[in-house]
Amino acid sequence: MKIFVGKRESDILTYNIFNITITRWGSNDGNNYAFDNLEKYKDSTYVDWITEVLDKLTKNIEEFELHFYNQDIAHKVIKKQPKYKSYIKNLNLESTIDQFNNKTECRKWLGDFTKVIPYQSLLKEECSYSNLCRLFPEFYQFIIQENYSGGGEGTYKLNKETEQSVQANLEPKEQYLVSPFYEVSNSYSTTLLVSKDNICILPVSIQNIIPHNNKFYFAGNTFANIPTNIKEKIYQLSKIIGDKIRTDKKYRGICGIDFIESNEEIFPIEINPRYLGSSYVINKALNDSNLPSLFELNTRCFENKLDNELTFKLENLSIPYEHHYVFSFNNTNNIDGEKFYDGYDEIYLGKYGEYLYRYITHL
């Protein structure tokens, strides 16, 4: 029996691979167990809840596999219930996952062999507008990020006007990754598949980022209309970073790299050691082309079975889609595309920034 532990039920809908799904968002119907839609679990932590569900599901089962969307959650489950370690497939070292998940440590590592945006690791008291102007001369706006955050959550834009409101969101004893604000043409992402002997770089996408109240929300990707020279620059940088991930960190499987473009220069921003928000879109394109899913490809990476012929097909994959996350009720009735509700129910929602649902459109 194969069990998927992930963010959204729709992550696995393209392929019929898993018998059971345990997800943060989902229908909580049939073989899906969804955390966010269960009233009785509202005071429980997510990891506690996962282990409770696994205990019930596997009580009388000897053979099963656990596949995690996020390896950080897998390691937390192991700490909670060590007995599950031998059942978890495709897991990298916890120290590597933590280094990549920590935005400052990841930026530091990337800066050892690529050009990165200038940065500092600062406490709240050091994140005053005057101090940042002193640390980053000639800049008047700054990006402050929580070290462990994603999807735009925990990212703030600080300037003279927003200093007070941004400071109100910061914790006194926490370290933050602080960079000058670069005028960005676009934000990009690419998915890598890393095996012992090979690296596959899937087509690059533009990230749709929505600024709102000095915060930034990841709202989807589009794989079309990216200039050839930009794609080539990102491919070459991804190759360099992928080789380092493969050889120095001995990382295996799927991961993502985020980039920004400023003044026609490409900078790597972070590495995401997990499946990505765009993975279900890539799976749709893989299915269209009769190719294995990312879940199967991830396993092949750990088995060192990512051959050159398959890599060529993957790197030249056509992905004629874009996908969007919906955070606001405004104009939702006019959306034309394939919608994935993942248990969406507006009675649980109240403010902008809370996840409603997502959808795919064909280009």
pLDDT of residue 217: 80
Positive or negative torsion for Cα 130, 133, 139, 143: negative
Residue 134 belongs to some domain of the structure: yes
* 202 and 317 part of one domain: yes
* 356 and 212 part of one domain: yes
Identify the top-confidence range among 104-113, 147-156, 206-215, 224-233.
104-113
Amino acid letter at 312?
F
What are the CB-based long-range contacts (under 8 Å, 24+) for 95-98?
A: 96/249, 96/250, 96/251, 96/273, 97/71, 97/72, 97/273, 98/72
> pLDDT tens for residues 140-171?
999 999 999 876 678 999 999 999 999 999 99
> pLDDT tens for residues 321-332?
999 988 776 656
In the predicted structure, residue 351 carries a pLDDT above the cut 70: no
Residue 113 belongs to some domain of the structure: no
Looking up residue 291, the CATH number of its domain turns out to be 3.30.470.20
pTM of the model: 0.93
Least confident range of 23-27, 73-77, 239-243, 307-311? 23-27
d(CA 127, CA 166): 10
pLDDT of residue 329: 65
* 220 and 157 part of one domain: no
Portion of the chain with pLDDT greater than 90, in percent? 78
* 174 and 224 part of one domain: no
* 305 and 334 part of one domain: yes
Q: Select from 131, 146, 180 the last residue of a domain.
A: 180
- Average model confidence (pLDDT) across the chain: 92
**Domains: count for the chain:** 3
Q: Select from 139, 164, 180 the last residue of a domain.
A: 180
Who wins on pLDDT, 258 or 13? 258
* 138 and 21 part of one domain: no
pLDDT of residue 334: 73
d(CA 11, CA 74): 17
pLDDT of residue 352: 52
pLDDT of residue 263: 87
3-state secondary structure of 337: coil
pLDDT of residue 228: 95
Cα 319 vs. chain centroid, distance in angstroms? 19
What is the number of other CB atoms lying within 10 angstroms of the CB of residue 235? 14
Residue 101 belongs to some domain of the structure: no
Q: Select from 180, 215, 231 the last residue of a domain.
A: 180
Residue 99 belongs to some domain of the structure: no
Range of the domain at 11: 2-91
* 73 and 149 part of one domain: no
pLDDT of residue 295: 98
* 145 and 75 part of one domain: no
pLDDT of residue 32: 95
Strand pairing of 215-222 and 321-326?
antiparallel
* 338 and 252 part of one domain: yes
Looking up residue 160, the CATH number of its domain turns out to be 3.30.1490
* 170 and 285 part of one domain: no
pLDDT of residue 213: 76
Residue 111 belongs to some domain of the structure: no
Under 8 Å between Cβ of 245 and 198: no
* 158 and 203 part of one domain: no
d(CA 276, CA 296): 15
Who wins on pLDDT, 27 or 286? 286
Question: Could you tell me the pLDDT band of residue 185, with boundaries at 50, 70 and 90?
Answer: confident
Residue 86 belongs to some domain of the structure: yes
Least confident range of 23-27, 182-186, 243-247, 341-345? 341-345
Residue 345 belongs to some domain of the structure: yes
* 84 and 146 part of one domain: no
Residue 317 belongs to some domain of the structure: yes
3-state secondary structure of 30: coil
